[in-house]
Amino acid sequence: MAEPYRVTVIEESQVAPPPNSVPTTSLPLTFFDIQWLPLGPIQSLFFYQVPQPTNYFTQAILPTLKHSLSLTLQLFFPLAANLVCPPQTDKPHILYTEGNSVPFTVAEAAGDFNHLIVNNPRDARELHHFVAHLPPTHVSSDDTRLIPLMATQVTVFPNEGICIGMTFRHAAADGRAIHHFMKSWASICRTGGDLTCLDKSPPFHDRAVIKDPNGLDNNYLKEMGNWASALDEDSDLINKIAEKVRATFVMGRAHIEGLKQWVKGQCTNKEDLEPLHLSTFVVTCALIWVCLIKSQHKGVCNFSDDNSKLCYFIFAADCRNRLKFPIPCTYFGNCVAPCFVGLERREVVGETGIFEAVKAIGNKVGQLETEALRGAETWASVWKEMSEMGSTIVSVAGSPRLGVYDTDFGWGRPKKSEVVHIDVTGAFSLAECRDEDGGIEVGLALSRKSIGDFNAIWEQSLKLF
């Protein structure tokens, strides 16, 4: 690890919506929410260059941050609520009551701010100093579990910058919803508490718009069993990721367009070309999938029994505009479908691996336009089966469409955004490129050797386009 970061907690408090601004509200979990219940915390960091001393931060910036968060929670109140999990037959639900709040930690860090915002490989443990930690689950006398849904931490680097850390439960919101919250908080902070900036896009909370005629919610709960008992954070996490490093790989617009043209060139006839879905998401995910599998197996395809095993790529697709029943674009909650794409290992690491991956992922994306809920009755069981079989799985967190670099609190765009939980899940993160329109940023957390192997194959692959 580089020189350790010394982090001192300045303040620990709670931020709630303004008093009596939100009535007691219970929100049922839909089947879109329930599938994410067993997932660990989602952790994001936003780094901003703010060359001000700590006393300026505490006197001028911090009060505005907290006040604007309070106002934002008035609209996005489920994040201040608890997930209520009764012990027996009652379904879990989100319950907001007066006085519910979000933990808000303020810290000061001594260390190199600029080291944290580079793309080069660096010790994965470093970022965990700035991650917000969820409070533990509270278990009542009747065994009902009350699970907090969000926590925040703001860390100031004197005369250098600010890091805003957010941790939340996926069962409360998907990526589109949580970034709606973050951009809203940033806008209210930037405008000095002006709520009218959200008049055109307030969050929509009515869960009745999600139709579930086949009772998928009950089926998912049965599949998951005793998921609630394993939700508290892992106290040994830092030791478990001690061998990992994080790195960001950037793919510019020229390479992405070159990749799309290269894929078209692999088509031998018009029939192959017409059904191809060549979005930036599809082609970049295909390339990353192939590079990761090749780096894990050194790109060797010896057609052994091992190479006939399936490799899976998993992504989540926003369904707000893909369902037969209308869902507002500002719906707050989960409205994403898990998508499973499988290819034999020999196909992924073979000479036409990238082309085969593009076809497979593209076909799945195309299917979503007319059959977004196809196979929904087996989503929960597929997750379980793949885990138990020890399948090779590559998954992605995030999307370039979320616009993480548009989150401006009044200090300009973030210098860097990081998805920290990939240290644990093994997924790669995907975001738009901060410094080039049309480019993408890929975040990975692997062993130093694996990062090196991936980089070699990545660089070799980019020479094709």
- Phi, psi for residue 43 in degrees, rounded to 5: -125, 125
3-class SS of residue 207: helix
Q: Catalytic: 408?
A: yes
376: Cβ–Cβ under 8 A, 6 or more apart, which residues? 31, 216, 337
3-class SS of residue 49: strand
With 0-12 / 13-18 / 19 or more C-beta atoms within 10 angstroms meaning exposed / middle / buried, residue 2 is exposed
Tokens representing 57? 């931060």
With 0-12 / 13-18 / 19 or more C-beta atoms within 10 angstroms meaning exposed / middle / buried, residue 268 is exposed
Which residue type does 152 have? T
Gyration radius from the chain CA atoms: 22
- Whole-angstrom distance, CA of residue 263 vs CA of residue 272: 11
Q: Catalytic: 297?
A: no
Count the neighbouring beta carbons within 10 Å of the beta carbon of residue 251.
Answer: 24
Residue with tokens 């719906």: 331
User: How open is the CA angle 378-313-338, to the nearest 5 degrees?
Assistant: 40
Tokens representing 162? 């600010």
Tokens representing 375? 């196979």
Count the neighbouring beta carbons within 10 Å of the beta carbon of residue 275.
Answer: 10
CB 380 within 8 A of CB 220: yes
Q: Please pick, among 33, 128, 129, 170, the residue that the annotation labels catalytic.
A: 170
- Whole-angstrom distance, CA of residue 47 vs CA of residue 157: 10
- Whole-angstrom distance, CA of residue 225 vs CA of residue 380: 11
Tokens representing 3? 């020189």
H runs (alpha helix) in 25-93? 31-34, 54-56, 62-75
- Whole-angstrom distance, CA of residue 190 vs CA of residue 307: 53
Give the length of the chain. Answer: 465
Residues belonging to the active site: 170, 408
